[in-house]
Amino acid sequence: MSLKGNIETFGLSSILQMLNYEKRTGKLSIKSKSQANTIHILLHEGDIVYATETKNHNRLGELLKGCGYISEAVLEECLELGMKSKEKLGKILVHRGHISREKLNEFLLKQAENAVYNVLLWESGEFEYENAQINMKGAIEYKLDTMFILLEASRRIDEIAILKKQIPSESSIPKIAGHAGGSESIVFTLDEKRMLAIIDGKSTIRQIFDKSGVDDFRAYNMMNSLISTGTIEIRQPASPDGLAKEVVKQTRGVDSRQIRWALDNLGLQRSSSLRISLSRIFRDSADEQQIIAAVKKEARKISNSGEKAALDKLRKENHIPYMKAIIELLWQSANEYDN
């Protein structure tokens, strides 16, 4: 059997109910253009046995690190080994004795559960289902209760609409409140402590959620709790017009030699596409309108996740004042073209 369509028309809950009722075995893929994310769900006789997200491929590592099973150093080492050997993170962690096979299965199931809850919150996207033989050898020996997941997701959809009202947008940037250090009486949960450790005053709400290792519903709950206690404050990102004004102000009197020096000091190779894009924007930065037009043109060229990750890293690590606004403007514009 093969199915294809969009979740606005068919409804993902109805699709999963049907596949569960008919005890189908195969793969269901749901793609979100707006989030540049695809979730793959494997079903065995109607039961969900595995699910992954392309956007959050390291979420297992974040889950294990957040729960104290592995350190940041171990995670980085094993991810690097995985890139070289083309092996999955979980397999490497088990082989090197960092975690047992039983504990890995437990976390893989939690990762799958998080992915399914997240996709059931999506308002739009395209899906495709194909019957396929699923090799269960060495797979998770547990399964998710599909009907329970659907009932819980329905409850979460109602609640998350309320939770989102306190957070302007996922591109907003939270920071630790200035008076938070004096809030010794507040008792934080372990998950809230982990989220606080991720908040650096530069990462957006969405980036923090992706790093947290929990599903979006729990992440929204924790963020709202931290806002309600006054522990964190939300800073809205500067508007494109405001940033364009800053670029004009910051680059006034800056010549091409200084631009080359800045790009060299930021570690951008002469042939890198990011360096070429920034150079072109500077070349066309005579006024605000020209800057915005140049940024939009270059942002369309930043198409893959690796380039966007490099731009985000540059945004966070930049220490050159007159580069700040232009990098932020390019980063914002590039993320608009996820869809």
Q: Residue 170 above 50 pLDDT?
A: yes
Please compute the mean of the pLDDT values over residues 248-266 and round it to a whole number: 84
Q: How many domains does the chain have?
A: 3
Domain assignment present for 251: yes
Q: Residue 149 above 80 pLDDT?
A: yes
Q: Are residues 230 and 317 in the same domain?
A: no
Mean pLDDT of all residues belonging to the chain: 82
Q: Are residues 67 and 210 in the same domain?
A: no
**Residue-level pLDDT at 179:** 56
Apex 291 CA angle, 287 and 295, nearest 5: 180
Domain assignment present for 123: yes
> For tokens 């094993």, what's the residue?
78
Q: Are residues 220 and 137 in the same domain?
A: no
Confidence of residue 339 (pLDDT cuts 50, 70, 90): very low
Q: Are residues 119 and 9 in the same domain?
A: yes
Domain that holds residue 249: 240-336
Q: Are residues 203 and 276 in the same domain?
A: no
**Residue-level pLDDT at 286:** 74
Sheet of strand 126-131, all strands in order from the earlier edge strand to the far edge: 2-6, 126-131, 26-32, 37-44, 47-53
Specify the CATH number for the domain of residue 185. 1.10.10
Q: Residue 338 above 60 pLDDT?
A: no
Q: Report pLDDT digits (tens) over 29-61.
A: 999 866 678 899 999 888 888 888 876 655 677
CB burial of 163-202 (b: ≥16 within 10 Å; e: otherwise) equals beeeeeebeebbeebeebeeeeeeebeebbebbbebbeee
Q: Are residues 177 and 124 in the same domain?
A: no
Q: Residue 318 above 90 pLDDT?
A: no
Q: Are residues 10 and 151 in the same domain?
A: yes
**Residue-level pLDDT at 299:** 87
Domain assignment present for 246: yes
Domain assignment present for 104: yes
Domain assignment present for 228: yes
Q: Are residues 187 and 206 in the same domain?
A: yes
Q: Report pLDDT digits (tens) over 59-73.
A: 677 778 777 788 888
Beta strands 173-176 and 232-235: pairing type? antiparallel
Q: Are residues 15 and 139 in the same domain?
A: yes
Q: Are residues 197 and 330 in the same domain?
A: no
Q: Residue 137 above 70 pLDDT?
A: no
CA distance 266 to 314: 7
Domain assignment present for 178: yes
CA distance 208 to 109: 22
Domain assignment present for 34: yes
CA distance 79 to 85: 10
Q: Which residues contact 151 (CB under 8 A, 6 or more apart)?
A: none
Give the pTM. Answer: 0.58
Please compute the mean of the pLDDT values over residues 138-142 and round it to a whole number: 55
Query: Side-chain half-sphere of 211: how many Cα atoms within 13 Å?
Result: 15
Domain assignment present for 161: no
Which of 155, 179, 204 terminates a domain? The answer is: 155
Q: Are residues 140 and 202 in the same domain?
A: no
Tokens matching residue 150: 């659907």
Q: Which residues contact 200 (CB under 8 A, 6 or more apart)?
A: 316
CA distance 115 to 294: 37
Q: Report pLDDT digits (tens) over 298-308.
A: 888 886 677 77
Q: What percent of the chain has pLDDT over 90?
A: 8
CB burial of 256-274 (b: ≥16 within 10 Å; e: otherwise) equals eeebeebbeebebeeeebb
Phi first, then psi, for residue 19 (nearest 5°) are: -65, -35
